[in-house]
Amino acid sequence: MPDKKTARLSLATHELADHYLSGRIGRAIQPVAFTPAPEFLAQAPTPNRHYAEAVRLIAAQAPLRILPGERLVGAATLKEAMQHRMPATPFGSLSHSTLGFEKAMQVGYRGIRAEIEARMRRGGLDEEGEDLLRAMRVCLEAAAVWQARYVAAVEQLVSDSAGEDKRHYAGVLAALRRVPENPPETFREAVQALWLLWDFQRLCGNWSGLGRIDKMLGPFLRRDLEAGLISIDEARELLAHFWIKGCEWITAQDRGSGDAQFYQNIILAGVDEAGVPVLNEVTGLVLDVVEELHISDFPIAVRIAADTPEWLLHRIATLQRLGGGIVAVYNDDRIIPSLVRFGYPLEEARNYANDGCWEILIPGKTRFGYQPFDALLLLQETLGVSAAEASPRQNKAECTEWIARPRGAGTLECFADFEALYADFKSRLAREVNRLLDERPFDKAPCPLFSLLVDGCVERGRSYLDGGPCYTVRSPHAGGLPDVANSLLVIRRLVYEEKSLTLSRLAEVLSSDWEGQELLRRRIQADFDFYGNDNAEADALLQRVFNDFTDLVGATRERHGVLRPAGISTFGREGSGFLPHRTATASGRKKGAILAPNFSPSPGTDQRGPTAVIKSHCSVDFSKLPCGTALDLKILPASVRGETGLQALAGLMRAFVRLGGIFMQIDVVDGALLRAAQEHPELYPNLSVRVSGWSARFATLARDWQDMVIARTEQTL
Amino acid sequence: MTRGVEPPPVTGWVYDIQRFSIHDGPGIRTTVFLKGCPLRCAWCHNPESQDCGVEIAMNPGLCIGCGRCLAACPRQCQAMEAGRRLFRREGCLRCGACAASCPVRALEVIGKDRTVESVLQEVLQDKPFYETSGGGMTLSGGEPMAQFAFTLALARAAKEAGLHVCLETCGFAAWEQYEQMLEVTDVFLYDYKESDPVRHREFTGVPPDAILDNLRRLDERGAALVLRCPLVPGYNARDGHLRAIADLANGLRHVQEVNLMPYHPLGEAKCDRLGKESRLRESRFPDESEVSRWLETVAAQTRVPVKRI
Ligand code: SF4
Ligand code: SF4
């Protein structure tokens, strides 16, 4: 039921939202029921053509779905797509990028087709290029087939209905007939165009971020408002329908890493290429819709800066207080200069968006990939300790092997002082970074559909995966840095300053998971001020590790034609992939403990509240981290109550900007609430939590993930 | 004064410094809790603040029975009998040796004699947040005025460092001291505990006259005031007192806000840890409907904004 304070949307829209959020739509989605004919396979001479013909088949055969009262049409109705697979073929699908919807809105499919044709006429493409462009052209034809089916279906509805319904369908039809083949001319057409551009990719299994929705849609709305073509309330309804349809894949029954995670990120505000603020009516409407419907399936980030108006921060704070970490912030004042410093032209830097989580990229121009590795394992190597299990993902090329390499007995004693020990760690860090920097990510897998919306692919005659985009990015991402720094802090003090135990003894203690050493362990936890407490000594060590990592990566801006911006992340691996390979840590954590998420403090170590966390976090020079990182801040509702609470949240965000942070997600949560939701998921079907850039419906998380979220929530009280 | 001889630095007994305090005045604040209080409110939340000087708190729930404090104590105050940890406070020197030896902070030293400079330095760590939120430093306690010289020096140093300063006070101190605080205090968070003089004496141990007198004089001097009103079921949470709160706010010119502070029974657990008797007859969290009714009752009778803290 709409909350009276925020009820701006119609009852019908609320009912539609409830319908989608119940998971009924998602659960009804079936696996693909058609396959390409064998004779077709024989005809398709190349993987690209094979792929493109499969897209055409999907466009012609996928079930349509038009619900009564929906103001937008188009639906991604194949189960394989929800599972991030290409339906009807064995080909892979893509995510972790934000496609060039803005350009596609400016020129329409029509314009993209013209560009392909012009490129083919100009000649000079090699065989691969010709093949790719032909396949792209087929994908465009397929998109037109899909659209035509919806046009026909809505025409039928128009002729079958009367009165109010007829007017409704006629309105839908008018927009649908023109876009996205042609560039939209009105706000309504623009919203419909964006939906179809995005959802057709999804129908074929590709999950793209949405990007800068207010920048794309705002100018249309302003023009329509001025011309009196639409009211602000009607515009809000349209956007609400976009949000609601974005829940088409909710099933609320599946378990796992959460069903709200389709990388459909949205980024608001900031500046345009010329440096003019984007903030417009659509920015506010999006926040209205999210506040009222509490739909978190599009994780929202707002680009803020020193000159962000107070009312916008206030709006963001209001939404943050609803819980679920629905709205995060990026700091333009930090990010734009560091992108320029990395080498992007200023106009490109100003247009940055995210990849589906929070990594920073230039939308519509970037092939993005990151290479996670666990810095804590490198420290384990230095100490000669390792967890017994072998990595289940050893062979996954993208990841480091995630097993500490053994070291010979007795070698620890050769670290005469802390510097010698640190030098060993650093050499391992260098080895790992160099290994990552040497990777060549190019791939011949077919992806003509995705390539359609990425600048550079047509011109170069190369696909998204094969060096086509203006920027191919491969970003080494370090995990575990806060725990490395915390461990080093303890080692330095106990082993080299107080000399109360030797390094080999410490290694034994860690190998045995603190067996018989509970007192020492507790003492360490009680006595040390770790990262996150605004303590100069702890933060200085973190800065040192950070600087060494970013300098090692920063020395190589580009290798093999691939950009290499540094990033810091764990993306939940602190509770999954990294976990089995970590031993106990010198910072007093036992094996199996969930450690620092992304670049946030390790759970339970931050004792001095959010301001101290922000100070510690921002004590490093983030201009050296062009791919970004995240601070996840958990705050209890009681501490941000009332108007004062909103001011305080706004003050935290402003200070974060001033202190030079990159990305911060404030999550107002209550451990008791989460536990209640774990016991009675049926009562809290839509309670959402956000973990490292993505949000998930709590009820859809597997139990161990829920436990992890609860543990993090409670330890940071 | 002889040249070259520095006066000893002003120090004060501080028992906590809390960052990101947002209900002790405007914006994001750091609250400095000082020890010592001339009142003895039956419902005191912070019994550890009542006495000046060091106190030793024990939290038996955290104790792991390692026995280190037994060895550390020069007076055999810490004992283990039939598996139970005992703390015999009679002979305790408050030397803190036991707490220093405890690996799990089951024993804690409460209160530290600190210089103005060291406290200010810690408070300044959050300066960026004060600037972005309109916050600053709040002096609280205990009763900050019980350590007047320190409170004045700290407030002055904070003002010189450009901070907004709030003073939370029970009003029980000499007027001359409040007069000196005027120029270094931006907002007085002034307690109003009980409107009936007899009850006031019973609940707090002192008569209300001097308190009300100081309040009126601060108002006459134009001091910005926030009335802070603890509401404790079974004590002062009755309609007559709620009306008196509104009347008081209406009768003064510079009250910016009335804060109602529903009681929470946290103080009791703290009393246990300190080996103190709780004097409370009744202890429960007031329920939400009760609190809303209090808010409405007061708000209906005054134009001063009423807030729940
Ligand atoms: S403070 Fe000193 S005297 Fe008192 S119990 Fe502790 S060690 Fe013993
Ligand atoms: S030192 Fe601490 S943990 Fe050990 S017995 Fe004493 S109070 Fe308990």
- Nearest chain A residue (CA) to B132: A651
Highest average pLDDT, of A2-16, A141-155, A282-296, A597-611, comes from: A141-155
Q: Do A644 and B19 touch (CB under 8 A)?
A: no
Name which of B20, B132, B308 is nearest A610 (Cβ-Cβ).
B20
**Around Cβ A288, how many Cβ atoms within 10 Å?**
19
Peptide bond into A180 cis (omega under 30): yes
pLDDT band at A390 (very low <50, low <70, confident <90, very high): low
Asked if residue A326 is part of any domain, the answer here is: no
**Is there a domain that residue A166 lies in?**
yes
Q: What is the pLDDT of residues A645-686, one digit of tens each?
A: 899 999 999 999 999 999 999 888 777 777 877 777 666 655
Listed in order, strand segments (DSSP E) in A425-525 are 471-479
Long-range contacts of B122-125 (CB under 8 A, 24+ apart): B122/B17, B122/B30, B123/B17, B123/B30, B123/B32, B123/B158, B123/B163, B124/B161, B124/B163, B125/A534, B125/A611, B125/A612, B125/A615, B125/B19, B125/B30
Question: For residue A229, is it within any domain?
Answer: no
Candidates A647, A649, A653, A668, partner chain B, best to mutate (most B CBs within 10 A) = A647
Strand partners, B292: none
Structural domain total, chain A? 2
Task: For residues B138 and B21, give the distance between their C-alpha atoms in angstroms, rounded to a whole number.
Answer: 9
Question: Measuring CA to CA, how many Å separate A338 from each of A343, A349, A353, A663?
Answer: 9, 9, 14, 13
- Is residue A172, in this structure, part of any structural domain at all? yes
Q: Kindly report the nearest CA distance between residue B46 and chain A, in angstroms.
A: 19
Q: Are A357 and A265 in contact (CB under 8 A)?
A: yes
Residue to probe by mutation, ligand 2, list B62, B63, B76, most atoms within 8 Å of CB: B63
Q: CB B188: neighbour CB atoms within 10 A? A: 27
The shortest CB-CB distance from A611 to any of B66, B126, B308 is to: B126
Residue A568 lies in a domain: yes
Across residues A130-154, what is the average pLDDT?
A: 97
Contact criterion met (CB < 8 Å) for A647 and B26: yes
Domain boundary among A185, A208, A231: A208
- Report chain A residues whose CB lies below 8 A from the CB of B126: 611-612, 615
Q: Which of A182, A208, A234 is the last residue of a domain?
A: A208
Going from the Cα of A353 to the center of ligand 1, the distance in angstroms, rounded, reads 59
For residue A61, what are its two tokens?
């055969």
* Domain annotation covers residue A463: yes
Q: What percent of chain B has pLDDT over 70?
A: 91
Q: Per-residue pLDDT for B84 more than 60? A: yes
How high is the mean pLDDT of chain A?
89
List Cβ neighbours of B4 (8 Å cut-off, separation of 6 or more): none
**Residues B132, A651: C-beta atoms closer than 8 Å:** yes
How much is the pLDDT for A405? Answer: 58
A231 and A7 Cβ atoms separated by less than 8 Å: no
- Please write the tens of the pLDDT for every residue from B24-53: 899 999 999 998 887 787 777 677 777 778
Is A152 contained in some domain?
A: yes
Residue B90 is which amino acid? E
Q: Pick from B111, B182, B112, B171: which is nearest to B145 by CA?
A: B171
Does residue A355 carry a pLDDT above 90?
no
- Check: CB of residue A538 under 8 Å from CB of residue A493: no
The confidence score (pLDDT) of residue A640 equals 80
Neighboring chain A residues of B135 at a CB cutoff of 8 Å: 648, 651
DSSP label of B9: P
Question: Tokens representing A415?
Answer: 């670290």
User: Is residue A185 scored above 80 in pLDDT?
Assistant: yes
Domain interval for residue A495? 369-626
Residue nearest to atom 4 of ligand 1 (CA): B92
Nearest residue in chain A measured CA to CA from B130: A651
What would the mean pLDDT of B197-217 be, rounded to a whole number?
89
pLDDT at position A356 over 90 = no
Report d(CA A453, CA B194) in Å as an integer. 71
Which positions ≥6 away from B291 have C-beta within 8 Å?
A: B231, B260, B262, B308
Chain centre to alpha carbon of residue A331:
16
Beta-carbon contacts of residue A213 (< 8 Å; ≥ 6 apart): A194, A266, A267, A268, A282, A286
Terminal alpha carbon distance of chain B: 47
- Pocket of ligand 1 from Cβ distances under 6 Å: B 56, 72-75, 77-78, 92-98
CA A475 to chain centre: 14
- The structure tokens listed for B151 are 């409170």
CA distance A650 to A640: 11
- Domain closes at, from A208, A223, A254: A208
Amino acid A684: pLDDT: 63
Do the Cβ atoms of A651 and B27 come within 8 Å?
yes
In SS3 terms, A180-215 reads as: CCCCCCCHHHHHHHHHHHHHHHHHCCCCCECECHHH
Q: Which residue of B has its CA nearest to A314?
A: B133
Which among B22, B66, B132 has the least Cβ separation from residue A655? B132
Identify the CA nearest to A7 among candidates A190, A210, A172, A240. Answer: A240
Q: Give the position of tokens 């920097």.
A: A437
Chain B residue whose CA is closest to A652: B129
How confident is the prediction for chain B on average, in pLDDT? Answer: 88
Interface size between A and B, measured as CB pairs under 8 A = 81
Burial A638-657 (b: 16+ CB within 10 A, else e): ebbbeebbbbbbbbbbbbbb
Mean pLDDT across the stretch A57-66?
96
Q: How far apart are the first and last CA of chain A?
A: 31
Q: What number is the ipTM of this complex?
A: 0.89
Please give the backbone phi and psi of residue A161, each rounded to the nearest 5 degrees, phi first. Answer: -115, 175
Give chain A positions within 8 Å (CB) of B128: 615, 655, 658-659
Tell me the C-alpha distance between A420 and A101, whole Å: 52
- For A369, the enclosing helix (H) or strand (E) is strand A366-374
What mean pLDDT do residues A314-319 have? 93
